[in-house]
C-alpha cells in the first residue's frame, strides 16, 4: 500500500477500498504518512466526497486508532449530546446536570473554542479550581457519584482524529461533511455512550450555513451512530442569532447558572429542555420531567456536585473583565437581525476565543446582548456591551459589528425562526 495511490483514487473520484482506508489512517497516526500527503487526501475528500460505506469505514479506522471506553458498570443508562458549535451555545452546561437529575448518566466529552465558536471547556475553566483533564478512572468516578461529567477527551481516544482535526483546521478542509461526521462520531462511538443526541447548528454562526447541508451532515452522523449500535437522533437548530444574551466564557457560565436556578433567556431554556427530552427518550427514561427538575432545584444540585467533584468552587465569584464598551442603537425601531457570526467574531477578537489551539483565552471577555430580534429599541439605547481585559481590542472588535444588526421602522412585523428546525432519526 502507498499513499500516492490512495490520494490518486480519491482525486480521480474513485471509491477508497476498506484496505486503503485502514492503511492510510493507521500510517498517518504512526507518522508514516506525512502531513502534506494527508492534506492532499483531505482536500480530495472535500472536493469529491465519500459514500456511506467509505465514511463508515473511515470512522471505524479512526476509532481503531485508540482505546474504547465502557460504562457497563454504571447503574444508569448513558446519554450524551454533541453540538456542532455556535455562538452563545452554552447548552451543555445546564443540560448535563439536568439530564443526570432525571436519571441518566451523562459522559460529556467536550472541546475548546476555535475562531468564532465557543468551547465548553474554556467556559468551565473560568470557574476557580475546575479541571478539564481527568483520567479515565476519575471520569468514571465523577460520573458514578454525580451522574454527569464534562471533561476533555483523553489522548488515547481516537488519536487519528486529533491529528487530522488539527490538519483540517489549517488546510481549508474543516467544512468537508464526511470529515466532520467521522471526526465527531469516531470520538462519540469510542467514548462508549449508549445513546447520542446531536445538535446540528444551521445559520450564519454555524459551520453549516444552509439547512440542506445541515440535513446531510445530520443524516450521515445518525447513520454512523445507528450502524455502530448507538441510538442516535439529531436536531437541526437555528444559529442565525446568538443563543441567549451572552457570548464569552464566564459570561456564559453565569447565564447557565441562571437557567439552572429556574430563570435565564427563553431560547436557552427552550433548547435545553428540547435536547433533554430527546436524551431521556433515547436512554429509555420515559417518566422524567426535565422542566420540573429545573424548577425544583434538583438540576442545580447536580451542577454543584459535578463542579465540586472536578475541583471547582460552585460558590466562587466568576472573573469579570476589567474594561467595558457599550454599543448603542443607531436608530429607533424594531431590531430584525443580530448576526451570530459577527457577534462571535467580536467575542473572539475581545479575547474570548483563539486563533490557534495553543492560544490563551480571557475568562471575562465577550459580548453581552441587551436586545434580540423582535425587540423594539430606541436610538441611543444599549444594544451590546463588550467586555475585555485589553481595551486596545475594542476597535478591532467593533469592526466586526458594523453590519451585525438591522433596525426596521417602528411597528414593523417580525417573525422569529423556530429554535428547532427539523429532527433526523
Helix (H) or strand (E) holding 368: strand 366-369
First to last CA, the chain: 38
**Whole-number pLDDT of residue 131:** 97
Domain range for 33: 3-49
**Whole-number pLDDT of residue 278:** 98
* Count of structural domains, the chain: 3
Q: Is 21 helix (H, G, I), strand (E, B) or coil?
A: helix
Question: CATH number for the domain including 26?
Answer: 1.20.970.10
Q: Are residues 330 and 291 in the same domain?
A: no
**Whole-number pLDDT of residue 333:** 98
Let me know if residue 69 belongs to a domain.
Answer: no
**Whole-number pLDDT of residue 391:** 97
**Whole-number pLDDT of residue 372:** 98
pTM of the model: 0.94
Identify the residue whose cell numbers are 480530495.
44
Q: Are residues 298 and 330 in the same domain?
A: no
Q: Are residues 265 and 404 in the same domain?
A: no
Question: CATH number for the domain including 362?
Answer: 3.90.1170.30
Q: Are residues 305 and 328 in the same domain?
A: no
Burial 61-85 (b: 16+ CB within 10 A, else e): bbbbbbeebebeebebbbbbbbbbb
Closest CA to 25 of 144, 140, 160, 137: 160
**Whole-number pLDDT of residue 112:** 84
User: Could you give the residue ranges of the DSSP H alpha helices within 354-393?
Assistant: none
Let me know if residue 72 belongs to a domain.
Answer: no
> What are the residue numbers of the active site?
82, 161, 168, 183, 187
Mind listing the pLDDT tens digit of every residue in the chain (425 residues)?
899 999 999 999 999 999 999 999 999 999 999 999 999 999 999 999 999 999 999 999 999 999 999 898 999 999 999 999 899 999 999 999 999 999 999 999 998 887 788 899 999 999 999 999 999 999 999 999 999 999 998 888 899 998 998 888 788 898 899 999 999 999 999 999 999 999 999 999 998 999 999 999 999 999 999 999 999 999 999 999 999 999 999 999 999 999 999 999 999 999 999 999 999 999 999 999 999 999 999 999 999 999 999 999 999 999 999 999 999 999 999 999 999 999 999 999 999 988 776 788 999 999 999 999 999 999 999 999 999 999 999 999 999 999 999 999 999 999 999 999 999 99
Q: Are residues 303 and 327 in the same domain?
A: no
Q: Are residues 299 and 343 in the same domain?
A: no
Let me know if residue 64 belongs to a domain.
Answer: no
Rg of the chain over Cα atoms, rounded to whole angstroms, equals 21
Q: Are residues 19 and 130 in the same domain?
A: no
Amino acid at each position: 500500500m502507498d499513499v500516492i495511490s490512495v490520494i490518486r483514487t480519491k482525486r480521480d473520484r474513485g471509491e477508497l477500498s476498506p484496505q486503503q482506508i485502514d492503511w492510510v489512517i493507521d500510517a498517518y497516526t504512526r507518522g508514516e504518512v506525512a502531513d502534506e500527503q494527508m492534506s492532499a487526501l483531505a482536500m480530495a475528500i472535500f472536493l469529491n466526497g465519500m459514500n456511506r460505506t467509505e465514511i463508515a469505514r473511515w470512522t471505524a479506522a479512526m476509532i481503531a486508532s485508540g482505546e474504547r471506553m465502557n460504562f457497563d458498570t454504571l447503574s444508569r443508562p448513558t446519554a450524551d449530546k454533541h453540538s456542532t458549535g455556535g455562538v452563545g451555545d452554552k447548552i451543555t452546561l445546564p443540560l448535563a446536570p439536568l439530564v443526570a437529575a432525571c436519571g441518566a448518566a451523562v459522559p460529556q466529552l467536550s472541546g475548546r473554542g476555535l475562531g468564532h465558536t465557543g468551547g465548553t471547556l474554556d467556559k468551565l475553566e473560568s470557574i476557580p479550581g475546575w479541571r478539564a483533564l481527568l483520567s479515565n478512572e476519575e471520569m468514571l468516578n465523577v460520573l458514578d457519584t454525580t451522574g454527569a461529567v464534562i471533561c476533555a477527551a483523553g489522548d488515547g481516544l481516537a488519536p487519528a482524529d486529533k491529528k487530522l482535526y488539527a490538519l483540517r483546521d489549517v488546510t481549508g478542509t474543516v467544512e468537508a461533511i464526511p470529515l466532520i461526521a467521522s471526526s465527531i462520531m469516531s470520538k462519540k462511538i469510542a467514548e462508549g455512550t449508549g445513546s447520542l443526541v446531536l445538535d446540528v447548528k444551521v445559520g450564519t454562526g454555524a459551520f453549516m450555513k444552509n439547512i440542506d447541508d445541515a440535513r446531510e451532515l445530520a443524516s450521515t452522523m445518525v447513520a454512523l451512530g445507528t450502524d455502530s449500535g448507538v441510538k442516535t437522533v439529531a436536531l437541526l437548530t437555528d444559529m442565525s442569532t446568538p443563543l441567549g444574551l451572552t457570548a464569552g466564557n464566564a459570561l456564559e457560565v453565569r447565564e447557565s447558572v441562571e437557567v439552572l436556578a429556574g430563570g435565564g433567556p427563553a431560547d436557552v431554556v427552550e433548547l435545553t429542555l428540547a435536547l433533554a427530552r430527546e436524551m431521556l427518550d433515547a436512554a429509555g427514561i420515559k417518566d422524567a420531567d426535565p422542566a420540573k427538575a429545573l424548577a425544583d432545584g434538583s438540576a442545580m444540585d447536580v451542577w454543584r456536585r459535578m463542579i465540586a467533584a472536578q475541583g471547582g468552587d460552585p460558590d466562587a465569584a466568576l472573573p469579570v473583565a476589567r474594561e467595558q464598551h457599550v454599543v448603542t442603537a443607531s436608530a429607533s425601531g424594531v431590531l430584525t437581525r443580530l448576526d451570530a457570526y459577527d457577534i462571535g467574531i467580536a467575542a473572539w477578537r475581545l479575547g474570548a476565543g483563539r486563533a490557534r489551539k495553543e492560544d490563551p483565552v480571557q475568562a471575562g471577555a465577550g459580548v453581552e446582548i441587551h436586545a434580540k430580534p423582535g425587540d423594539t429599541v430606541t436610538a441611543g439605547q444599549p444594544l451590546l456591551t463588550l467586555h475585555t481585559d485589553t481595551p486596545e481590542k475594542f476597535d478591532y472588535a467593533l469592526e466586526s459589528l458594523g453590519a451585525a444588526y438591522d433596525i426596521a421602522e417602528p411597528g414593523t412585523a417580525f417573525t422569529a425562526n423556530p429554535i428547532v428546525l427539523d429532527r433526523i432519526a
